[in-house]
A and B are shown apart, each in its own frame.
Chain A
Amino acid sequence: MFPFSLLGQRGRRTEEGVFRGLMVFAVFLVVGSLLLIVLTIIWKGLPSLNLAMITRTPQGGYYLGKEGGILNAIVGSLYLAGGATLLALILSLPVVLYLNLYTRKYSPLANFVRFSFDVLWGVPSIVLGAFGFVVMVFLGLKTSLLAGIITVALLEFPIMSRAMDEVIRLVPRDLKDASYSLGATKLETALKVILRQSLPGIVTGVLIAFGRGIGDAASVLFTAGFTDRVPTKLSALFQPVATLPLAIFFQLGTPFPEVRQRAYASAAVLTILILIISLVSRALVKRYTKHTIR
């Protein structure tokens, strides 16, 4: 006999109540920490959050509490994470499509690749930063936007691929067969049917990776450098670039309370930036997914 059946009707109800309570507790814990983080950032950063901060670059001695803003880091981070996300996407899509269309479900190769993604996902970003540094030196680059993009792309690649892999795997076999039976090749099926069907999931994967990329400090520490200038020309690709996580890191490290306050304001900018990008891309996706089969 199962032990639960001995509890009787009343015991089962208690059991249901206890577990439901635990779940509600977990939900509060998650939502609560999110709120706490956002509130802390805003409460501590709001006094220094002003227009100058997001429209100006540091004007000499900014990190000692003087005039200026963090425009250099905002633009730098957008370029860096944008470039890295694009590079990671160019790498991930073919890999993921290959895994799902051209290899068999239980092929050792596919298993190995997925396992590699998981391992790569678990590599601490400081290690990737160090690796990126080695690659950078090997390529003869100095700390620059390009070196940062390559390193952050390495960080984003497994996250993006794994997320996309999960959604593309959910495309029903019959849908692929329907396309094949009309004489479509695997490539045509991938590009015209599968990508369309899994677009929302792909965008989610890209966004998760972008969020990780733009927020990571350790991977850009050795590779992207820092500068007070805003990158404008293409040659900036080979120049050092500022990033928001490092701006926060430097500001938090100063002994001046008002500069530390700016660190919270910078964190608020970073958080809001990610929020805006998520909302806009989700709204865009909605317009393109009315045909998705549910």
Chain B
Amino acid sequence: MELMSHIRIRDLSVRHGRTEILKGISLDIPDRKITAIIGPSGCGKTTLLKSMNRLVDSGDGIEVQGEIFVDGENIYDPKVEVTHLRRKMGLLSQKPQVLPMSIYDNIAYGPRIHGIRSRKKLHEIVEHYLRVAGLWDEVKDRLGSPASRLSVGQQQRLCLARGLAVEPEIILGDEPTSALDPQSSQHVERCLQELKSDYTVVVVTHILRQAKRIADYIVFLYLGELVEHGPAAEVFANPKNARTRSYMTGEIS
């Protein structure tokens, strides 16, 4: 299994009507590392991320071609159970989206859906993942209060805990710190770095410095094309492609 990475993308094209959002992308996402997808706005970063858990299909008029293998299984095979696939991946969105329920129920939502009924078990899960996300001490006395009353930074960590509670193998982040203040951002970044020993992390970011801080692997997209990808140190120190170089130096954005 070591040779096969969790997520392998083969010749993936996504179009919306006549516009091609992604053009023939082939890529292996390394396991247990943080992969950062970077590139200028509108280059297809988020689409690439959301095609990994098939959230793109819920969009209108989106057509997907090509294959993405997760654990050796093509997720665009019609036989694939999409709920099962999504369970393997936790998602952090740009703006934290807490569910309209209490803090406790936000975390318990996933496990309950997947059949965990025992109160004791649920309680353990809630506490464990709130601790992992570094939120437990802040909320342990008000687990029953509405999640929407938390600060935005706390909400994002709650979303992280909620995603982890369904025991995924992969964490997807769609500019997960873009709505947060610097301190909360730092907190989330630190969480991701701790998590990479157990999970495969893929993060979309438009902040180059963030990519430099946390990424082990870089994927650079430009106008829907995969321009360059490789270990972060290499890509940052010595970009092979001219467009990557101009993006890094701020000539294109």
Do A and B make up one complex? yes
Q: Which of B53, B147, B172 contacts A291 (CB 8 A)?
A: B147
A196 to B98, CA, bound (A): 13
Question: Would you list 28 pairs from A and B whose C-beta atoms are within 8 A, ordered by A residue?
Answer: A106-B61, A172-B97, A175-B99, A177-B55, A177-B58, A177-B91, A177-B93, A178-B93, A178-B98, A178-B99, A178-B159, A179-B99, A179-B109, A180-B58, A181-B53, A181-B91, A182-B109, A182-B162, A183-B110, A184-B83, A188-B113, A193-B100, A290-B146, A291-B101, A291-B148, A292-B100, A293-B98, A293-B100
**B60 within 8 Å of A (CB atoms):** yes
A177 to B95, CA, bound (A): 12
Chain B interface: which size bin?
A: 20 to 34
**B39 within 8 Å of A (CB atoms):** no
**A176 within 8 Å of B (CB atoms):** yes
Chain B 169-195, CB-CB to A under 8 Å as 1, else 0, gives 000100000000000000000000000
By beta carbon, the residue of chain B nearest A183 is B87
**A174 within 8 Å of B (CB atoms):** yes
By beta carbon, the residue of chain B nearest A175 is B97
B100:A105 contact, CB within 8 angstroms: no
- The interface centre, meaning the residue of A104, A183, A196, A197 with most chain B CB atoms within 10 A of its CB, is A183
**B86 within 8 Å of A (CB atoms):** yes
A175 to B55, CA, bound (A): 12
> Within 8 Å CB of B84, what residues of A?
183
A294:B60 contact, CB within 8 angstroms: no
Of all A-B residue pairs in the complex, the 7 with the closest CB atoms, nearest first, are: A183-B87, A181-B91, A178-B97, A182-B110, A197-B100, A291-B146, A183-B83
**Distance of A245 from chain B, by nearest CB (Å):** 38
B166:A183 contact, CB within 8 angstroms: yes
B101:A196 contact, CB within 8 angstroms: yes
> Within 8 Å CB of A105, what residues of B?
60
> Within 8 Å CB of A12, what residues of B?
none
A174:B93 contact, CB within 8 angstroms: yes
By beta carbon, the residue of chain B nearest A198 is B100
> Within 8 Å CB of A197, what residues of B?
100
**A282 within 8 Å of B (CB atoms):** no
A79 to B48, CA, bound (A): 55
By beta carbon, the residue of chain A nearest B95 is A174
**B5 within 8 Å of A (CB atoms):** no
Given the known interface contacts A177-B93, A182-B86, the answer about A294 and B110 at a Cβ–Cβ threshold of 8 Å is no
What's the A-B contact tally at a CB cutoff of 8 Å?
83
> Within 8 Å CB of B83, what residues of A?
183-185
> Within 8 Å CB of B74, what residues of A?
none
A197 to B58, CA, bound (A): 20
Q: Given contacts A183-B87, A183-B113, A293-B98, could you give 11 more A-B pairs where the C-beta distance is less than 8 Å?
A: A175-B97, A178-B97, A180-B58, A181-B53, A181-B89, A183-B110, A184-B83, A184-B113, A193-B99, A291-B102, A291-B146
**A192 within 8 Å of B (CB atoms):** yes
A173 to B174, CA, bound (A): 15
A293 to B87, CA, bound (A): 24
A105 to B84, CA, bound (A): 25
Given the known interface contacts A104-B60, A181-B55, A183-B114, the answer about A291 and B100 at a Cβ–Cβ threshold of 8 Å is yes
A290 to B147, CA, bound (A): 10
**B153 within 8 Å of A (CB atoms):** no
> Within 8 Å CB of B58, what residues of A?
173, 176-177, 180
**Distance of A191 from chain B, by nearest CB (Å):** 11
Chain A 159-201, CB-CB to B under 8 Å as 1, else 0, gives 0000000000000111111111111110010001100110000
A183 to B114, CA, bound (A): 8
A178 to B166, CA, bound (A): 13
Residues B52-89 near A (CB distance < 8 A) = 53, 55, 58, 60-61, 83-84, 86-87, 89
A19 to B182, CA, bound (A): 45
> Within 8 Å CB of A193, what residues of B?
99-100
- The interface centre, meaning the residue of B61, B100, B101, B110 with most chain A CB atoms within 10 A of its CB, is B100
> Within 8 Å CB of A183, what residues of B?
83-84, 86-87, 110, 113-114, 166
> Within 8 Å CB of B101, what residues of A?
196, 291
> Within 8 Å CB of A291, what residues of B?
100-102, 146-148
By beta carbon, the residue of chain A nearest B99 is A193
A192 to B148, CA, bound (A): 16
**B44 within 8 Å of A (CB atoms):** no
By beta carbon, the residue of chain B nearest A105 is B60
A104:B61 contact, CB within 8 angstroms: yes
A292 to B98, CA, bound (A): 10
